[in-house]
Amino acid sequence: MIPYFKFTTLSLGPITIQVWGLMVALGILCATWVAVRMARSRGQNEKIIWDLSVWVIAGAFLMARVFHAIYEPGYYLADPLEFFRIWHGGFSVMGGFLGALIVGVWFLRKKHVDVYAYADTVIFGLPLGLFIGRIGCFLIHDHPGTLTDFALGVNYPDGVRHDHGLYLSLNGLILFLVFLWLMKRKVKTGTYIVVFLIWYGTVRFFLDFLRATDGAIVDTRYASLTPAQYLAIAMVVGGVCIWKRKLSSKH
């Protein structure tokens, strides 16, 4: 098992840096840099990727906050102004995906470029960003899971538990390595979109069954599933549909 520790802030003289925010920022930067490298190799406009990242980040964080409110509706209904106190934390990466999709498609269409090809390029760097960003979740342990005797369980003060931050970070790393392998095989444009949607959606759907149900704050569930699980199902269905329409043809 992994010993429990908590690393929430980093002090640099009079400046206090939030570790979670730092890791998320590093993840976004690295993911964008990798996407830019992919754009360069594909002959795409690198500036569009950098500009796109700004808009996508804004849309992702907004929808991530909205989606988090769906997780804890009672919390926000009791104090609606809490929605705007983003320094208290409370973001859903699944909601972030949705926000990024909406804003990203809008931006790319505005630029009159191949939305499908550019989206595939951007998604190539996403798993690396998730790997780094989720390390921040693991360091602050904000996603404890159910009790377990699994070797990668974290020894929380109240027992050994699954840690979603750790699992999702490792998932991002593995998926990025798969993407590097696919890159060497010179796969069709759109492959990264399909693989990401199906892979991440499947992993997230099953991992959410391991979310803690005995803590002070329990995720709201709808028909026994978390909001993220419904979005995960949509991701898998979307991935399969894109695969059938764009990649399954021999031509």
- Cite the annotated binding site by residue number: 134
Cα–Cα distance for residue pair 34/177, rounded to 1 Å: 13
Please give the backbone phi and psi of residue 178, each rounded to the nearest 5 degrees, phi first. Answer: -65, -40
Q: Which amino acid is at 140?
A: I
Q: CB burial class (10 A; 0-12, 13-18, 19+) of residue 75?
A: middle
Q: Are 162 and 146 in contact (CB under 8 A)?
A: yes
Q: Are 138 and 20 in contact (CB under 8 A)?
A: no
Cα–Cα distance for residue pair 121/129, rounded to 1 Å: 14
Q: Strands 154-156, 2-3: parallel, antiparallel or unpaired by DSSP?
A: parallel
